[in-house]
Amino acid sequence: MFSLQALIFDVDGTLAETERDGHRVAFNQAFAAANLDWRWPTEQYGDLLKVAGGKERIRFFWQTYQPQFRPVLSKAMSEQTWIAELHRAKSRYYTQLLQSGKIALRPGVRRLLLEARQSGIRLAIATTSTLDNVTALLEATLGTDSPGWFEVIAAGDIVDRKKPAPDIYEYVLEQMRLEPDQGLVIEDSDVGLHAAQQAGLRTVVTVNPYTQQQDFSAAALVLDHLGEPSLPFQVLKGQIDSQTSYFDLALANRLLKSL
Q: Which residues bind ligand XBP (CB under 6 A)?
A: 10-13, 19, 23, 52-54, 91, 127-130, 133, 163, 192
Which of 13, 54, 108, 166 binds Mg ion (CB under 5 A)? It is: 13
Question: Would residue 12 show up in a list of annotated catalytic residues for this protein?
Answer: yes
- Binding Mg ion by CB under 5 A: which of 6, 12, 22, 28? 12
**Beta-carbon neighbour count of residue 230 at 10 Å?**
8
Smallest gap, in angstroms, from Cβ of residue 12 to Mg ion? 4
Nearer to ligand XBP, 85 or 240 (CB): 85
Whole-number Å distance between alpha carbons of 247 and 117: 15
What's the Cα-to-Cα distance from 149 to each of 7, 98, 133, 191, rounded to whole Å? 12, 19, 16, 25
Instruction: In angstroms, give the least distance from the CB of 229 to ligand XBP.
Output: 27
Out of Mg ion, ligand XBP, none, what residue 129 binds, judged by CB under 5 to 8 A for its kind, is ligand XBP
Residue 19 sits in the site that holds Mg ion (CB under 5 A): no
Contacted by 141, from Mg ion, ligand XBP, none: CB < 5 to 8 Å by type: none
- Of residues 21 and 85, the one with the C-beta less far from Mg ion: 21
Give the range of 8-16, 54-62, 111-119, 196-204 binding Mg ion by CB under 5 A: 8-16
**Is 237 within 8 Å of 222 (Cβ atoms)?**
yes
Q: In the bound complex, which residue of the shown chain has the CB atom lying closest to Mg ion?
A: 13
**H/E/C letters for each residue in 99-128?**
HCCCCCECCCHHHHHHHHHHHCCEEEEEEC
54 binds, among ligand XBP, Mg ion, none (CB under 5 to 8 A by kind): ligand XBP
Q: Which position among 10, 167, 188, 190 bears the catalytic label? A: 10
Report phi then psi at 7, rounded to 5: -110, 135
Establish if 190 lies at the interface with Mg ion (CB under 5 A): no
- Pairing label, strands 6-9, 202-206: unpaired
166 or 192, CB closer to Mg ion?
192
Query: How far, in Å, CA of 64 to CA of 58, rounded?
Result: 10
Query: How far apart are alpha carbons 176 and 99 in whole angstroms?
Result: 30
Q: Is 224 a catalytic residue?
A: no
Nearer to Mg ion, 12 or 167 (CB): 12
12 versus 108: smaller Cβ distance to ligand XBP? 12
SS3 34: coil
DSSP state of 162: -
- Of the candidate residues 6, 8, 10, 155, the single one contacting Mg ion (CB under 5 A): 10
CA 70/CA 79 separation, integer angstroms: 9
Find the shortest distance in angstroms from Cβ 92 to ligand XBP.
Answer: 11
Task: Give start and end residues of each alpha helix (H) in 18-177.
Answer: 24-33, 42-48, 54-65, 79-99, 109-119, 131-142, 167-176
- Would you name the residues annotated as active-site residues? 10, 12
